[in-house]
Every structure is written in structure tokens, then in C-alpha cells.
Amino acid sequence: VPQALIFDVDGTLAETERDGHRVAFNQTFAAAGLSWHWSETLYGQLLEIPGGKERIAHYLDQYCPPQDPRLPPQADRPAWIAALHQDKTQRYGQIIRQGCLKPRPGVLRLIQEARSAGVRLAIATTSALPNALAVLETALAPDAPHWFEVIAAGDIVAAKKPDPAIYHYVLQQLQLSPQACLVIEDSAQGLQAATAAGLTTLITTNAYTQHQDFSAAQWVLSDLGEPQRPCTVIRGSLGD
Ligand code: XBP
Ligand code: MG
């Protein structure tokens, strides 16, 4: 039994990308007078860049003409992107808090069992802190942020996943070795970050990540399962 569980947020605790983050980005772009629209398919590709600001910067680089006169000059772009992202965070919070976001199967059960067994809990997410809190409070419970000893989010470290920095940070805060912890993630970038920090990872896949390379994971499951609706084991043995 691990001493601590470290959870990713987006795609792991709840499905937040397609109808949450993606919609908030598009609302922000429209409000800023930009003709950008991130379709479900394009968003799947853009998800390879974790972090909202990083994703916008990547989109500008790869999909927009370099000398577009409607865009600010290169030197002003980091601040412009940060402002867009701040607006997106606001809108995402509204979408999540007004909606009826459900946790993924088995998430609440595992967290509750861990809490009653005295297993410590932490969060390691690329998303901004207000967004992570909105998901915890809406999908889990209003007091859920207090269940987690560490909530490491967004810019708390300089380099986002797949860099291991966020996991190093969580381990340092918990004062635990990687061997004492288990990570639950949904994406290859998250798995790469955790693995590089020496952590063992359980993957629950979703529509955006199911085709990714999870060979470094200890277990790959469709989800965490419920007693009435068991998960599908994609790789690994639950006896391990
Ligand atoms: C998911 C992400 C995030 C969100 C956007 O991170 O890649 O970038 O899509 O979040 P994780 P922000 O699965 O590690 O939680 O706009 O708040 O950056
Ligand atoms: Mg994720």
C-alpha cells in the first residue's frame, strides 16, 4: 500500500478538456476579436502541449502567419498571452462551477478509501490553481481541496509536464521518496513527468489519450471502475 496517492486533475479526476478548457479558450478568443476556433480534433493535437499559456504560444507559432498585423509584435506576446489566459481561467471557472461536472468512475471511491486508510493525498497538475480548485470543489466536494496535503498547480514550477519538476515539488512537500507514492494520470506527458521523477504510475485512459504510449506505466485501465461497472484492464495485472 502506498503512503501517498498523487493525482493529476484534467482527464484523470474528471473529463474537463473538450467541454471545459476547450470551450473556455474559444470564448476568450471570440471575446478578444480573434477568429481562432479550436475544434475537438485540433484540440486533441494541441493537448500535446500541456499548459494553457504554452498551448496558445504553440498555436501562434504553428498555425498563425508570423507577420499577421492583427497580432501584437513578438516582444509583447508573452504579456498578451498571459492576459488571454487570465481571461480563459475566469471563463473556465464559470463553466465548471455552473455545470454539473462529474468525477470519472471510481475516483471518489478510491479517494474516500485512501482517506479512511490514512493514505496521504496530493495533486500535481499543469492547469492553473483556480482551475484545479474549481474541479475539486465541483466534481468531488466543496471541501475537497482540504483532503489534499499538497495541491501543486500551474506555474508553481518553471517547467510543465512532461518535465518532472511538478512531481519533484510534490515529493519534496510530502517529504516522501518516489517509492512510497503512486501516481494516477491520464496522459503520456503526465506519465513521462512522473516516470522521470522515479514514480510508479497507474494510467486511466480517455478519448483524447487512449492511443498514446503508456509502456512506462505499471497499470493501464479504462478507468478506476465502480462495483456495478468494473473497469477494463488494458495492461498490467491488478494482483501486482
Ligand atoms: C492539463 C493541461 C492543461 C489544461 C489547461 O493538465 O494540459 O494545460 O488543458 O489548463 P493536467 P490551463 O492533466 O496535468 O491537469 O489553461 O489552466 O493551463
Ligand atoms: Mg491530465
pLDDT bucket at 208, cuts 50 / 70 / 90: very high
Q: Whose CA is nearest to atom 13 of ligand 1?
A: 10
Sheet holding 200-204, edge to edge: 150-153, 120-125, 4-7, 181-185, 200-204, 219-221, 233-235
Q: How far is CA 211 from CA 134, 147, 186, 189, 206, in A?
A: 28, 32, 11, 13, 9
Average pLDDT rounded to a whole number, residues 97-104: 94
Say whether both 182 and 225 belong to one domain: yes
Say whether both 92 and 23 belong to one domain: yes
Boundary residue ending a domain (98, 122, 145): 98
Q: What pLDDT is stored for residue 94 in this prediction?
A: 98
pLDDT tens digit string along 12-69? 999 999 999 999 999 999 999 999 999 999 999 999 999 999 999 999 999 998 788 8
Say whether both 9 and 33 belong to one domain: no
List, as one string, the DSSP characters of 90-124: HHHHHHHHHTTPPPPTTHHHHHHHHHHTT-EEEEE
Number of the ligand closest to the Cα of 131: 1
Portion of the chain with pLDDT greater than 90, in percent: 93
Number of the ligand closest to the Cα of 17: 1
Pick 68 or 91 by higher pLDDT.
Answer: 91
pLDDT bucket at 188, cuts 50 / 70 / 90: very high
In ligand 1, the atom with minimum distance to the C-alpha of 154 is 18
**Single pTM value for the model:** 0.96
In this structure, is residue 240 part of a structural domain?
no
Q: How far is the CA of 8 from the centre of ligand 2 (A)?
A: 6
Q: What pLDDT is stored for residue 240 in this prediction?
A: 66
Average pLDDT rounded to a whole number, residues 129-146: 98
Average pLDDT rounded to a whole number, residues 104-118: 98
Say whether both 10 and 123 belong to one domain: yes
Q: Whose CA is nearest to atom 16 of ligand 1?
A: 52
Q: Pick the closest to residue 48 from 219, 202, 212 (CA basis).
A: 212
Pick 72 or 239 by higher pLDDT.
Answer: 72
Say whether both 108 and 214 belong to one domain: yes
Q: What pLDDT is stored for residue 237 in this prediction?
A: 83
Q: What pLDDT is stored for residue 68 in this prediction?
A: 82
